[in-house]
Amino acid sequence: MASYALTLTMVMSFILAMSTMHAGAEDTMFNGERLLTNQFLQNGPYTFIMQGDCNLVLYVKQDNNQNKALWASGTNGHGNSCFLLLQNNGNMVVFSGTDVVWSSGSTRGPNIYRLVMQTDGNVVIYGGATWATNTMQRRKTMMMVVNATRLN
């Protein structure tokens, strides 16, 4: 009986640890889900955030620990309590209340879609690739290999 209780405690601790780790570093959202003000998707140095000023922005944390904007919806100051919704038709929309402030224009029809903050700095709607920020970043090591190849 003591062995069962110990095993159950270990399993519950593992589940709690895994759910805590997962909640801290989300890089994907699915259709029907929202990013509310100050919520974000993150993958490595990249953060895709619904800011309090109603601007949806993709940042990269640079070597000097400063954030650099790679892409923005350009909707700062266009509403209050804005949120991002990935719709069931593949369209990503920023709302202020019930008003549409910005749209990705990626309507494809009913399907299962997901918005992914990728490791290369690109944010993409999948369900068939329907929209992207086109902000893929090359790694320094890859640049060195390309440059070395060009020199030879």
Q: What was the pLDDT predicted at 109? A: 86
Number of neighbours of residue 1 by Cβ within 10 angstroms: 5
More confident residue, 23 or 35: 35
Q: Is it the case that residue 136 has pLDDT exceeding 80?
A: yes
Q: What was the pLDDT predicted at 25? A: 52
On the 0-12 / 13-18 / 19+ scale of CB atoms within 10 A, 123 is: buried
Task: With cut-offs at 50, 70 and 90, classify the pLDDT of residue 132.
Answer: confident
Q: Is it the case that residue 147 has pLDDT exceeding 50?
A: no
Helices (H), the chain: 2-24, 140-151
How far apart CA 74 and CA 65 sit, in angstroms, is: 24
Taking the chain, what is the end-to-end CA distance rounded to the nearest angstrom?
Answer: 70
Lowest-confidence pick of 67-76, 82-91, 102-111, 135-144: 135-144
